[in-house]
Structure 1
Amino acid sequence: MPEARWPALLCGIPLAVAAMTPQAAATPQPTPEPPGGVSQPVFTAEPVRETVWVETGLDGDGDGVVDRVAADIARPAGTDARVPVIMDASPYYSCCGRGNESERKTYDEQGRPVGFPLFYDNYFIPRGYATVLVDLAGTNRSQGCVDVGGPSDVTSARAVVDWLNGRAKGFDSADGGRPVEAPWTTGDVGMIGKSYDGTIANGVAATGVEGLRTIVPIGAISSWYDYYRSDGVSFGFDPVGLARTVEEGGRPDCDAAKQDLVDGAPANGDMTPLWSERNHVPDAGNVRASVFAVHGQGDLNVKMVQFGQWWDALARGGVERRVWLSQTGHVDPFDFRREEWVRTLHRWFDHYLLGMDDGVEKEAAASVERAPDVWSDEPVWGGEQARPTTLHPRPGSTGGLGELGPEPGQGSASFTDDPGLGEYDWAARPDQPSPARALFTTGPLQRDTRIAGTGSVTVAATPGTDTAHLSAMLVDYGPATTRDYLGQGEGIRDTATESCWGESRPGDDACYTDTEATRSDVDFEIIARGWADLANHESLSEERPLRPGTPYEMTFRLATTDHVVPAGHRLALIIGGTDKEFIVAPPRPGEIGLDISGTSVTLPVVGGASPHITATTPAAPPVVRPDRAPQQPDVQLNRP
């Protein structure tokens, strides 16, 4: 471990065991520092480690007994000071692991928790926090059944918040046992977690539960429909598969719960009550906690639309919030911006859980990675200042290759759905027509243009058969160096060194492999994507059979983005049929015609349209060098 790293991270706060400040009294208190300071590592004794089983009020497995979920606790010892809680509720503690090193929980021979994944216990317990890791119902040592984002999942975690605040029952065993209370805590809770874990934090916050002071959702879902479906199309996987994974093969007494997932998630992509129940966005008005959201713009697992719609809903409710947007894929900030992340998270929890006046709430509300390891801070996220800007396609001199600009066009275009092709096939040859897509390109932009927020595409489409799926993407054509978020590490790779973050204990190591950015030189970037089933043009809840030769109009979303298109680059809209990288083909793919006068793309442009995006000027189309085209994704979807 390079010692030179510590001063920059800790501002002089020692971490290694040998350098820890000795415990000054039998009952040390977290000592507030002057404004701008941080909590100090004064709790050096071996932490208290215990498991409490908390009643959820549900009987998911139908055995006639109220389910209990396991909350594994590590908290400061040798003190009567009450402490706040950092909580991570997860289904992955035994099946899949957490973090870049896939850490799992471990226990001693008596079943007491020993190994806590991630660094939260090592770093924060000495500073006056407890760490509580909750097994969601149906996973690891918890009773009940997994319902993938439904009431069982959310209640699993909320019940523990209630127990920490004296409103729920806890016991010292899974069955029977003695009641256990939590007099050691203030009841103030901060929930944190990546992916499924962060999704649970969103869901618990949306209940408005008292005692939850802040959440830190990382690459988290706000609507489970948008994880498995998109405006009527399916991504080809379903929640029952994830339920079996986190149950480690499936629990026989949970067959009914799994059948509910099968019945409630039809393959046709319709919105159903199951999906509505797992949509936290409409309940964002209930959120009382502050929110520190983190998301990767290259995340093709939990896509950026999950962040965008959640952020917009929180903004409408006036929730205190902050965001980091990286160029990575589905990656934790501990693995792409480690020192700054620990420093910032430390101060965030100090402020919202310990009540310290460290000024963190007055700092930049947004930090966006513009190039690998190059970050831009701003007082308000630019997506809140963007204005809708509508661009229209126009026919070009070559069939299938058109223009894109602010003035509406006339004419038509067409393509034939080829389910064997995808977005990178369509985007890689912008100077060549393709029967599988229509491509419309601006001229070289006159100045840098920032697109920040959630856009949409409107199509006037005429199907040649009675089924039609649509894909749309926004492409920045021009040379750039980006994080290689399509590669195996999704923008990072491990190095040969490690660094330590807190105090290591037997069976619970505080040291982690360091990482570094991976880079890719490209000639284009796909900056936003969207998919839809034309049969859902009237309603997402009910698809309607299409009549071949009949025109239909439909508007569907593009994923949220925050991207600066440099001056001299071109912006393109590509419309195709089945994108093999993401969506399932319709039963009868065929030719699809576009009425150009009824087709457009609406983008959130910071500063508005004029003079950022102007009419296309005649010029040669962008040319992509084969050695600089992005590789097709090497990422595994539907994973932690």
Structure 2
Amino acid sequence: MGRRPHRRALRTTAVGAVSASLVAAGVLAHAPAAQAATSPVRYVDIAGDGGTVLKANVITPAGADDTRRYPLIVLPTSWGFPQVQYLAQAQRLADDGYVVLAYNVRGFWQSGGEIDVAGPRDVADASKVVDWALANTPADPGHIGMAGVSYGAGISLLAAAHDPRVRAVASLSGWGDLIDSIHSGRTQHLQAAAVLDTVGTVTGRQSAESREIFSAFYDSDLTKEQEIVAWGKKRSPASYLDRLDKNGTAVLMAGAWGDTIFPPNQSAALYERLTGPKRLELRPGDHATAELPGLFGLPNDVWTDTRRWMDHYLKGVDNGIDREQPVQLTSRSTDGYEGYPDWKSVGATREKIALAGTTTIRTNVDSGADGGIVFLSSILDQVARVPPVASIPLLPRYWAAVWQSPKYASAQQVRGTARLHTTLTPTEESGTLVAYLYDVGPLGLGKLVSHAPYTFHGATPGKPFGLDLELFSTAYDVPAGHRLALVVDTVDPLYIEHNPSGARLTFSSPATDPSYVSVPLREQ
């Protein structure tokens, strides 16, 4: 097996991101107080599943009384954030005629219990919160919605699948498949898991089950892999697709291309399978960064569309959101939105770049091609359009396989999901590789377009096998005169690698099964 970082080292890796999260939480806790409230805020205790106390706040429309009923929106908090997280948006929703109830999920801050990681207790808590709102506020039982960021997004989707009273959901930076998010390609997403683990340790109380799962995850314990997968499937909205469809829940999903916690592929896959009212929005940024300004009460497209979604499906407002193209994308390279009728239309035009020849690389050394640093890299890409870079000519071919396309005479648009197909011959039964797609300029500097990890176990040394890998979905514009490059190496700080010392990987392109990377590409 490859090197295993010490658990303390994993947490140190996440310190920067965790600190940023906690600072933001503290600022949010004080920002709403400076605003002139038009609707009163009540702080209440709600008995969740098993009587666990959930700390919550309730805002009702100004002048509301028991003679009328108002649509209800329930907001579960994000992982590690306090109950005041949504006050700015809750106030605005209340001013628009909603009863809004935000609650601190179990195991965090002042709420009781232990962290359930969006498990059955969290789902049951959400229904208990709805019960309380219907009994103690002028909420309308026929017009109930849920929304949330990150952890609150996942809980909202899961709650809607289990409670048919929830008619509309806005899932902001949430997930469709939890395991495909942090264990895609059978590869542990090291920095993402370290962020979640660290924030949970600092701001909450982990259950014995969650501690065991995190430990098995870090230790790469293959004997518990199926247990981890089963644990994650229970916490994945995709596992309850039939219930969401049966309930007819109107689902808005919004995320970011560079989300290092919940990459967009798994959310897009869930979106495509839903049959009820649905909308998918993807923008530049990392986890929850696109909607973060809205939590401070600043103008924000994500929250604007959340309100439009709720207005239409809870109030019946004819605002046109149901007639717009349901898939709305913003490129990482340009401003403005692009609309599509469905997800498959996003990458309908494809080009295959041949990966000719036979190439052997050594493992255990980082070639210099990397996916970046959790949060930091995608935020830089979002605000300054500066993605992770690598000098393609200088990448050591001893540790990296490199293929390049011809130069493009005109600008090209990458939209959707690139797919790698190749034949791999390992010298060991286990191994990890990471594939990167770069936009390469005239001087050979490559800007990262997308990437994804892949891990295999139980292979026969010396025996070739076919490998198919989806890279993380993206929207990126390649300038005229540039080319695309596919780079494959075996070490990336974002992931845990499983390469035995001295192992080698050989990539070949048999005449009967040529290797290629299929890129969703069209001329701009």
- TM-score, normalised with respect to structure 2: 0.76
Secondary structure of the residue that 2:430 maps to in structure 1? coil
Which has more strand, going by share of residues?
1
Cα–Cα, structure 1 residues 118 and 74, in superposed 2: closer, same or farther, change >3 Å?
A: closer
Secondary structure of the residue that 2:129 maps to in structure 1? helix
Cα–Cα, structure 1 residues 422 and 262, in superposed 2: closer, same or farther, change >3 Å?
A: same
**2:33 is equivalent to residue 73 of structure 1:** no
Superposed, 1:195-344 pairs within 5 Å as 195-207=150-162, 209-236=163-190, 242=196, 245-246=199-200, 248=202, 251=205, 254-255=207-208, 258-259=211-212, 262=215, 267-268=220-221, 270-271=225-226, 272-287=229-244, 288-314=248-274, 317=275, 319-330=276-287, 331-333=289-291, 335=293, 338-344=299-305
- The runs of 5 or more residues in structure 2 that have no matched partner are 1-31, 372-387
What is residue 69 of structure 2 aligned with on the other side? 82
Deviation at 1:89, TM superposition (A): 0.7
**2:476 is equivalent to residue 563 of structure 1:** yes
Contact preservation (8 Å) 2:420, 2:470: yes
Which one of 427, 433, 438 corresponds to residue 401 of structure 2? 438
Deviation at 1:373, TM superposition (A): 6.7
Superposed, 1:204-603 pairs within 5 Å as 204-207=159-162, 209-236=163-190, 242=196, 245-246=199-200, 248=202, 251=205, 254-255=207-208, 258-259=211-212, 262=215, 267-268=220-221, 270-271=225-226, 272-287=229-244, 288-314=248-274, 317=275, 319-330=276-287, 331-333=289-291, 335=293, 338-370=299-331, 374-381=335-342, 383-387=344-348, 389=350, 391-395=352-356, 411-424=357-370, 428-432=390-394, 434-478=397-441, 523-535=445-457, 544=458, 546-597=459-510, 598=513, 600-601=515-516, 603=518
Superposed, 1:42-57 pairs within 5 Å as 46-47=39-40, 49-56=42-49
Distance 1:301 1:46 in 2: 35
Secondary structure of the residue that 2:331 maps to in structure 1? strand
Secondary structure of the residue that 1:452 maps to in structure 2? strand
Distance 2:95 2:77 in 1: 23
Q: Which amino acid aligns with 1:603?
A: S
Distance 1:606 1:187 in 2: 45
- TM-score, normalised with respect to structure 1: 0.63
Root-mean-square deviation (CA, aligned residues, Å) is 3.7
Distance 1:585 1:348 in 2: 44
Cα–Cα, structure 1 residues 260 and 590, in superposed 2: closer, same or farther, change >3 Å?
A: closer
Contact preservation (8 Å) 1:139, 1:247: no
Secondary structure of the residue that 1:286 maps to in structure 2? helix
1:495-523 Cα shifts (integer Å, max 9, x gaps): xxxxxxxxxxxxxxxxxxxxxxxxxxx95
Q: After the TM superposition, which of the residue ranges 584-593 and 239-248 deviates more from structure 2?
A: 239-248
**2:140 is equivalent to residue 185 of structure 1:** yes
Secondary structure of the residue that 1:370 maps to in structure 2? coil
Q: Which amino acid aligns with 1:236?
A: L
Contact preservation (8 Å) 1:234, 1:583: yes
Which has more helix, going by share of residues?
2
Distance 1:293 1:357 in 2: 20
Distance 2:70 2:502 in 1: 60
Cα–Cα, structure 1 residues 345 and 240, in superposed 2: closer, same or farther, change >3 Å?
A: closer
What is residue 139 of structure 1 aligned with on the other side? 108
Secondary structure of the residue that 2:114 maps to in structure 1? coil
Deviation at 1:210, TM superposition (A): 1.7
Cα–Cα, structure 1 residues 533 and 124, in superposed 2: closer, same or farther, change >3 Å?
A: same
Cα–Cα, structure 1 residues 436 and 447, in superposed 2: closer, same or farther, change >3 Å?
A: same
Deviation at 1:419, TM superposition (A): 3.2
Distance 1:374 1:566 in 2: 16
Secondary structure of the residue that 2:397 maps to in structure 1? coil
What is residue 376 of structure 2 aligned with on the other side? none
Contact preservation (8 Å) 1:455, 1:601: no
Larger radius of gyration: 1
What is residue 9 of structure 2 aligned with on the other side? none
Distance 1:595 1:290 in 2: 46
Distance 2:232 2:300 in 1: 38
- The runs of 5 or more residues in structure 1 that have no matched partner are 1-15, 21-43, 57-64, 98-103, 106-114, 166-179, 396-410, 481-521, 536-543, 614-640
Q: Which amino acid aligns with 1:310?
A: L
1:373-424 Cα shifts (integer Å, max 9, x gaps): 71133252564353374625344xxxxxxxxxxxxxxx31111113334424
Cα–Cα, structure 1 residues 423 and 243, in superposed 2: closer, same or farther, change >3 Å?
A: closer
